[in-house]
Structure 1
Amino acid sequence: MPKRPPSPGRVRAARQSARVTVASAAGFYSALYALDRPVVAVYALFAPIALGILSPIPGGGRDRARTVLFVLPVAVALTALGTALAVTTASAVAGMLVIGFAVSFTSAYGPAAAGTVPGLLLFYVLACFPPYAPDTLPQRLGGLLAGGVLLVLCELLLLPAPPVQPYRARIAAALDLASASALASAQGHRHAPERARRLREAGLALRLSQAPPASRPTGAGRTDRGLAQAGAATRRVLDQLARTAERPDSAAAADPPSEALLRGVAAGCAATAGALRGARAVPGPEALEEMVADFVAVRGRPSGTGPDADTKASRRLLERRSDLLVTAASALTVQAAVAVAIGGRRDSAGLPPEQFWYAEPSAARLLALRLTGNLTLRSVLFQNAVRTALGLGAARLVAGALELSHGFWVLLAVLTLGRTTAGATWSTVRSAAVGTLVGALAAGVLIFEAGGTVEVYAAVLVPAMFVAFSVGPIAGPAWAQGLFTLVVSAAFSQLAPADWQLAETRLLDVLAGCTIGLVCGVLAWPAGAHAEVRRGVAGVLRAAAPLVQVTVSAVVRASGTSGDARPRHGTAEEALRLTRHRLRIAEGAYAQYRTEGGRDPVDSGPDWHLALNCASHTVVGAHWLPRQAYGPAPPEAVRWARESAARLATAMDGAAAFPPGGVPATPVPLPHEVFSAAPAPVLPALVDVDTWLRTLAAELTAIGGSGPEEPPPPVRDGGARPATAHDPAARTGG
Structure 2
Amino acid sequence: MTGGPERTAVLRRGIRVTVAASAGFYAFLYGLDRPEAALYALFGPVSLGLLSSIPGSGRQRATVMLKALPVGLLLVTLGTALAVRTWAAVLGMLVVGFLLAFAAVAGPRAAGAGPGLQLFYILACVPPYAPDTLGLRLTGLTTGILLLAACEVLVLPAPPAAPYRTRLAEALTVAADAAADPAGADPAGLREAGRRLRLSAVPEAERPAGPARRDRALAQAGKATRRLLDLLAHFTEVIPAAPSPRLSGRGAAAEGTELAQAACDALLDRVATLCNVTAGALRVGRPPPRPGTLEEGILDFQALRTNQATGPPDAAPPVPVLRRQSAVLGIAESARMVEAAARIAVYGRRTPPIPPRELFWYADTSTAGLWVKRLFGHVTLRSVQFQNAVRIALGLGAARLVAGSLDLPHGFWVMLAVLTLSRTTVAQTWAAVPKVLAGNLVGAVAAGALLVGFGRQTEAYAAVLAPGMLAAFALGPLLGIAWAQALFTLVVASAFAQIAPASWQLAGARVIDVVTGSVIGLLCGLIAWPAGARREVRRTMAALLRSCGPLVTHTVDVVTASPGAARSPSTLPTEHRLRLAEAAYAQYRSEPSGTPAEARADWQAVLMSASHVLLGAHWLPRFDLPVTTIPPGAAAWARTAAGHVAAATTRIAALATGDQRQPGAPGAPLTPPENSPPLPVLIDLETWLSSLNAELSRIEGSLRDTEHTVTGRGRPGS
Normalising by structure 1, what TM-score?
0.90
Report the residue type matching 2:228 in the other structure: V
The Cα of 1:260 is off from its aligned counterpart by: 0.6
Task: Select 2:693's aligned residue among 693, 697, 715.
Answer: 697
Closer, same or farther: CA 662–70 of 1 in aligned 2, 3 Å: farther
Q: Verify: 1:332 aligned to 2:336, yes or no.
A: yes
The Cα of 1:602 is off from its aligned counterpart by: 8.8
1:143-187 C-alpha deviation (Å, 9 max, x unpaired): 0000011001101100011012110100001111111111113xx
Partner secondary structure for residue 206 of structure 1: coil
> Following superposition of structure 1 onto structure 2, how do residues 104-143 of structure 1 map, counting pairs within 5 Å?
104-143=101-140
1:55-77 C-alpha deviation (Å, 9 max, x unpaired): 10111011011111111000000
Task: Select 1:548's aligned residue among 532, 535, 552.
Answer: 552
Task: Select 2:147's aligned residue among 136, 150, 166.
Answer: 150
Name 2:280's counterpart in structure 1.
Answer: 274
Task: Select 2:683's aligned residue among 680, 687, 690.
Answer: 687
Partner secondary structure for residue 355 of structure 1: coil
> Following superposition of structure 1 onto structure 2, how do residues 621-636 of structure 1 map, counting pairs within 5 Å?
621-627=616-622, 628-630=624-626, 631-636=628-633
Q: C-alpha separation between the residues in 1 aligned to 2:62 and 2:277?
A: 34
| 2:285–2:346 contact (8 Å) kept in structure 1 | no
Partner secondary structure for residue 594 of structure 1: helix
Q: C-alpha separation between the residues in 1 aligned to 2:216 and 2:369?
A: 13
> Following superposition of structure 1 onto structure 2, how do residues 396-475 of structure 1 map, counting pairs within 5 Å?
396-475=400-479
The Cα of 1:367 is off from its aligned counterpart by: 0.7
Q: Verify: 1:585 aligned to 2:563, yes or no.
A: no
> Following superposition of structure 1 onto structure 2, how do residues 710-729 of structure 1 map, counting pairs within 5 Å?
none
Partner secondary structure for residue 347 of structure 2: coil
Q: C-alpha separation between the residues in 1 aligned to 2:360 and 2:708?
A: 40
Name 1:606's counterpart in structure 2.
Answer: 601
| Alignment size in residue pairs | 688
Partner secondary structure for residue 656 of structure 1: helix
The Cα of 1:443 is off from its aligned counterpart by: 1.1
Name 1:563's counterpart in structure 2.
Answer: 564
Q: C-alpha separation between the residues in 2 aligned to 1:671 and 1:596?
A: 42
Q: C-alpha separation between the residues in 2 aligned to 1:601 and 1:13?
A: 32
Task: Select 1:319's aligned residue among 319, 323, 343.
Answer: 323
Q: C-alpha separation between the residues in 1 aligned to 2:471 and 2:662?
A: 50
The Cα of 1:474 is off from its aligned counterpart by: 3.2
Name 1:721's counterpart in structure 2.
Answer: none
* Structure 1: gaps spanning 5 or more residues: 714-734
The Cα of 1:403 is off from its aligned counterpart by: 0.7
Q: C-alpha separation between the residues in 2 aligned to 1:709 and 1:282?
A: 50
The Cα of 1:593 is off from its aligned counterpart by: 1.1
Report the residue type matching 1:127 in the other structure: A
The Cα of 1:415 is off from its aligned counterpart by: 0.9
Q: C-alpha separation between the residues in 2 aligned to 1:702 and 1:411?
A: 46
Closer, same or farther: CA 359–164 of 1 in aligned 2, 3 Å: same
Q: C-alpha separation between the residues in 1 aligned to 2:710 and 2:596?
A: 23
Closer, same or farther: CA 110–666 of 1 in aligned 2, 3 Å: farther
Name 1:286's counterpart in structure 2.
Answer: 292
Report the residue type matching 2:206 in the other structure: S
Partner secondary structure for residue 658 of structure 1: helix
| 1:433–1:511 contact (8 Å) kept in structure 2 | yes
> Following superposition of structure 1 onto structure 2, how do residues 213-292 of structure 1 map, counting pairs within 5 Å?
213-247=204-238, 249=240, 252-253=243-244, 255-278=261-284, 281-292=287-298
| 1:282–1:343 contact (8 Å) kept in structure 2 | no
Report the residue type matching 1:669 in the other structure: P
Name 2:716's counterpart in structure 1.
Answer: none
| 1:440–1:506 contact (8 Å) kept in structure 2 | yes
Closer, same or farther: CA 28–597 of 1 in aligned 2, 3 Å: farther
Larger displacement relative to structure 2 (145-154 or 443-452): 443-452
Q: C-alpha separation between the residues in 1 aligned to 2:8 and 2:596?
A: 26
Name 1:56's counterpart in structure 2.
Answer: 53
Cα RMSD of the aligned pairs, angstroms, is 2.3
Normalising by structure 2, what TM-score?
0.92
Name 1:97's counterpart in structure 2.
Answer: 94
1:287-306 C-alpha deviation (Å, 9 max, x unpaired): 11111111111135669xx9
Name 1:523's counterpart in structure 2.
Answer: 527
Name 1:615's counterpart in structure 2.
Answer: 610
Q: C-alpha separation between the residues in 1 aligned to 2:313 and 2:236?
A: 25
Closer, same or farther: CA 61–337 of 1 in aligned 2, 3 Å: same
The Cα of 1:281 is off from its aligned counterpart by: 3.9
Closer, same or farther: CA 699–663 of 1 in aligned 2, 3 Å: farther
Closer, same or farther: CA 567–708 of 1 in aligned 2, 3 Å: farther
Task: Select 1:507's aligned residue among 487, 507, 511.
Answer: 511
The Cα of 1:566 is off from its aligned counterpart by: 4.2
Q: Verify: 1:161 aligned to 2:158, yes or no.
A: yes
Partner secondary structure for residue 644 of structure 1: helix
Closer, same or farther: CA 467–308 of 1 in aligned 2, 3 Å: farther
| 2:108–2:204 contact (8 Å) kept in structure 1 | yes
Q: C-alpha separation between the residues in 2 aligned to 1:408 and 1:169?
A: 44
Q: C-alpha separation between the residues in 1 aligned to 2:352 and 2:696?
A: 31
Report the residue type matching 1:290 in the other structure: E
The Cα of 1:102 is off from its aligned counterpart by: 1.3
Closer, same or farther: CA 539–479 of 1 in aligned 2, 3 Å: same
| 2:287–2:346 contact (8 Å) kept in structure 1 | no
1:671-696 C-alpha deviation (Å, 9 max, x unpaired): 46x24x3334xx21111111111111
Report the residue type matching 2:225 in the other structure: T
Closer, same or farther: CA 712–326 of 1 in aligned 2, 3 Å: farther
Name 1:719's counterpart in structure 2.
Answer: none
Q: C-alpha separation between the residues in 2 aligned to 1:669 and 1:274?
A: 45
Q: C-alpha separation between the residues in 1 aligned to 2:194 and 2:115?
A: 34
Q: C-alpha separation between the residues in 2 aligned to 1:634 and 1:6?
A: 63
The Cα of 1:450 is off from its aligned counterpart by: 2.0
The Cα of 1:606 is off from its aligned counterpart by: 2.0
| 1:665–1:701 contact (8 Å) kept in structure 2 | no
1:530-574 C-alpha deviation (Å, 9 max, x unpaired): 1111000011111111111111111123xxx34254424xxxx3x
Same amino acid, percent of matched pairs? 52
Q: C-alpha separation between the residues in 2 aligned to 1:31 and 1:539?
A: 56
Closer, same or farther: CA 495–349 of 1 in aligned 2, 3 Å: closer
